[in-house]
């Protein structure tokens, strides 16, 4: 009986969170409806901590490459951040996040640094998909996939 009650509470909370997600996604979609060109887009997330609350915020949407600035001047125009100290602080935060992301990637040690970025990203994707689809370990997936990538690249170089 207690388990059934606990399951019911979890199901209700999941249902409430799903409703909240739909509500906030609708707000985000409405805010982004008229936006075109380079600039930030509205998104939503949840505050950290025990009593997390949803909120809407501005960010660059990396899934929409045409909306991303291609130069510092475009970044400054889009964000209205022109102060040198503020730009430096943003650059440091972004740089640190990039280094952390790269260093914490478990596949990184298996990626050949001479491959171009597209090949490295494709290799990571294939390895992750194979691990998930075949329920394989990282080492097993790399042992199977990496020789194929290296052979394909060697064949391209010979041409």
pLDDT tens digit string along 23-47? 999 999 999 999 999 999 999 999 9
pLDDT 10s digits, 58-99: 999 999 999 999 999 999 999 999 999 999 999 999 999 999
Closest C-alpha among 60, 63, 22 to residue 43: 60
Give me the residues paired with residue 42 across strands.
Answer: 58
> How far apart, in whole angstroms, are the C-alpha atoms of residue 106 and residue 97?
16
């Amino acid at each position: 009986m207690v388990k059934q009650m606990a399951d019911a509470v979890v199901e209700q909370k999941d249902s409430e969170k799903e409703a909240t997600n739909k509500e906030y996604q609708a707000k985000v979609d409405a805010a982004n409806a008229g936006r075109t060109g380079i600039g930030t887009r509205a998104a939503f997330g949840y505050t950290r901590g025990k009593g997390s609350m949803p909120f809407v915020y501005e960010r660059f949407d990396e899934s929409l490459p045409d909306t991303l600035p291609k130069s510092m001047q475009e970044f400054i125009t889009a964000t209205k951040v022109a102060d040198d100290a503020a730009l430096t602080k943003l650059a440091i935060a972004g740089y640190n996040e990039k280094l952390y992301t790269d260093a914490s990637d478990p596949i990184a040690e298996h990626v050949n640094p001479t491959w171009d970025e597209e090949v490295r990203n494709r290799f990571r994707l294939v390895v992750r998909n194979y691990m998930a689809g075949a329920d394989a370990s990282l080492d097993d997936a790399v042992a199977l996939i990496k020789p194929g990538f290296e052979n394909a690249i060697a064949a391209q170089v010979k041409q």
